[in-house]
Chain A
Amino acid sequence: MKQSSLGAWIAFILGASYFLIPLLATFEFSLRMLRGQYSFEAYRVVFEQTRFQESFSYSLVLALATVVLGVLIVVPAAYFVQLRLPKLRPAVEFVTLLPLVIPAIVLVFGYLRMYNSSSILPLTGSTLGTDLLLTLGYVALALPYMYRSVDTGLRAIDIRTLTEAAQSLGANSATILFRVILPNIRSAILGGAFLTFAIAIGEFTFASLLDRPAFGPYLQWIGSNKAYEPPALAIMSFFITWAVMGVMQMVVSGRRGTR
């Protein structure tokens, strides 16, 4: 074995160990719920918990709503900024990065001040309103990832010429956006969508302070009250994430019309 490839293997093994050893240790611990034997008892217990089912379904719905809303807001915005207002791009990029700079707890207190039950728009005055506020908050949290992903996708294609070609064939803005631009940045949108999904599914701060039964607060609750279920949940979350990434890969690689 050459010295250079030996070094590469050592670096690879060290890197892989950094990620895999804690994961394997967590998995091993999650199997030890029954004394003296390995079993999936912790997983069975978690699945049977009504609170797990409710919180996971709730967060799943909200995460999907966040993805849809995020795509509907970000794609047209990024498209028109790039096509018609390119000078505004630095300002828009700055705005989209703000959720990374401003802590989630500051954002949620801002929301509570803006949309409390005695404000002009009392979103926290009803369950549906609070859910809507939570979804909008998730959209804001995921904005840096969704915008960057979509923006990169748009930069990879010549949107101006494609737009003009479609216009000359009689297409209006909506047709161009949904039938020409969107299909050609599908992989970028999917990338942003799954990052958004990953953020929304396990988010704690917003959901906890808005007092909604989401998966994040449930993870926190079970982590502070149980021993074996939290590692089981961590492993499950890990596999859900990988499953989602797998779906993304399948959809993207199955995409027609691109190299």
Chain B
Amino acid sequence: MNFVTISQLVKNYGTNKVVRGLDLGIRRGEFVSLLGPSGCGKTTVLRMVAGFETASSGTITIDGENVTSLTPAKRNVGMVFQAYALFPNMTVTGNVGFGMKIAGRPAAEIKARVAEMLDLVKLSNFGDRYPYQLSGGQQQRVALARALAIKPRVLLLDEPLSALDAKIRVSLREEIRAMQRDLGITTIFVTHDQEEALSISDRIVVMNAGNAEQVGTPFEIYNRPSTKFVAGFVGTLNQFKAVRTAGGYDIEGQLVSSDAAGQAAPGTKVTLALRPEAMSLEASPQRSNSLRGVIEEVSFLGSVVRIRVAFGSNKASFDIFNNPNAAPPHRGAEVLLHFNPDDILVLAA
């Protein structure tokens, strides 16, 4: 049974339809990411769950309670914002204890809970500091502690890592995931960063233009994208224009076999897609398909070398590991790119 259920959720701003009938069920303790480009409606969905935006239609239930028309203060959800949103006039202790204080909890209980939360986010010695005395990462930890201190039913994370530098971002996301697992709290995470979503989530909802394009585990989303949008948005993808043949596909005169025939009849124009890691310069029994092309660009990136190969008007980029004992292939060289027929994704043309 779902702990959070979003049914036919719609949000319109005048004639602008931002969310178009979203259906989503989230299990208790699950970590679900809403992933999509700017303007896809992911933040609006989160804000409607938090109660900051009113749904034009549809319902949101949390633990069986319909919260669609409740004010944010009555939903008991914890929210962490991109801009930290710590209260500048309060210390770390004041911030973390704020929710319990206004709920009228006893001072001793607040003190114990604040200490517990600060210990959880590894800021036990920072209780007397003000937000401006903390780094961005520390501020976001305090924001997380503050959101968790009230024991919310659902934790909402609105791009909480976007304002942090790359190194802190990676470490904090791992910590957030570990905390979420330890506490078993149902979490909705909004991000436009596919790597973040893939690394942290139980399931990902890929959103586009107010719709959920695909809902699935990171493995499913990455390896089996159901639409061209998902395939293009999540990870790097090489796309080729092709025509369906009886046994496979014709890519500008080169034939490749594939079982991923889809519903296309022979002669139909389709778009084939291949992940860069599915392509290799080396043949193997599994990589029974090959395409002949010309190296157009070679970029040396240190541990890897990025190579772009042109097959007529189609192009593909892929990485090979740097070999200190062998120079990378050079521009203009003719190469054969090998790949497994099973790795071909067929997208609508």
A binds B: yes
Contact pattern, A 226-259, Cβ under 8 Å of B = 1, otherwise 0:
0000000000000000000000000000001111
B99 interface hit (Cβ, 8 Å):
yes
CB distance from B291 to the nearest CB of A (A): 51
For window 164-188 of A, CB contacts with B under 8 Å fall at: 164-172, 175, 179-180, 183-184, 186
Total contacts A-B at CB 8 Å: 81
- Taking a contact as CB atoms under 8 Å apart, the answer to whether A170 and B52 are in contact is no
CB distance from A82 to the nearest CB of B (A): 16
Distance of A106 Cα from B147 Cα, bound (Å)? 54
Known contacts A161-B83, A184-B88, A257-B90; is A166 also within 8 Å of B98 by CB?
A: yes
B72 at the interface (CB under 8 A from A): yes
Query: A162: CB under 8 A from chain B?
Result: yes
Name the B residues within 8 Å of A259 (CB-CB): 132
CB-based contact A258/B132 at 8 Å: yes
**Complex contact B85–A256 (CB within 8 A):** no
Query: Per-residue CB proximity of B120-150 to A under 8 Å, as 1/0?
Result: 0000000000111000000000010011001
**Cβ contact within 8 Å between B78 and A168:** yes
In contact, B132 and A170 (Cβ under 8 angstroms): no
Q: Assess the B99–A257 pair: CB atoms within 8 A.
A: no
The answer to whether A257 and B81 have CB atoms under 8 Å apart is no
Q: Are B77 and A168 in contact (CB under 8 A)?
A: yes
B1-57: which have CB < 8 Å to A? Answer: 50-52
Tell me which residues across on chain B come within 8 A of A48, comparing CB atoms: none
Q: Which of chain A's residues has its CB closest to B74's CB? A: A170
A256-B130 contact in complex given A158-B83, A164-B79, A167-B71, C-beta closer than 8 Å: yes
CB under 8 Å from chain B, chain A span 145-162: 157-158, 161-162
Q: Are B89 and A184 in touch, CB under 8 angstroms?
A: yes
B81 touching A165, Cβ below 8 Å: yes
Query: Which residues of chain A have C-beta atoms less than 8 A from B90's C-beta?
Result: 257
**Nearest-Cβ distance from residue B289 to partner chain A, whole angstroms:** 52
Is B103 an interface residue, CB under 8 A from the partner?
yes
Q: Are A258 and B150 in contact (CB under 8 A)?
A: no
Knowing A172-B73, A257-B91, A257-B130, say if A167 contacts B51 (CB, 8 Å): yes
Q: Which of A164, A179, A180, A257 contacts B132 (CB 8 A)?
A: A257
| Complex CA–CA separation, A169 to B85 (angstroms) | 12
Residue of B nearest to A169 (CB): B99
List 8 tightest A-B contacts by C-beta distance, closest first.
A169-B99, A165-B85, A183-B89, A167-B72, A168-B79, A161-B85, A257-B89, A257-B130
Give me 28 A-to-B residue pairs in the complex whose CB atoms sit less than 8 angstroms apart, sorted by A's number: A157-B88, A161-B83, A164-B72, A164-B81, A164-B85, A165-B79, A165-B85, A165-B86, A166-B87, A167-B51, A167-B73, A168-B51, A168-B73, A168-B78, A168-B79, A169-B78, A169-B98, A169-B99, A170-B74, A180-B89, A184-B88, A184-B89, A256-B89, A257-B89, A257-B90, A257-B131, A257-B132, A258-B89
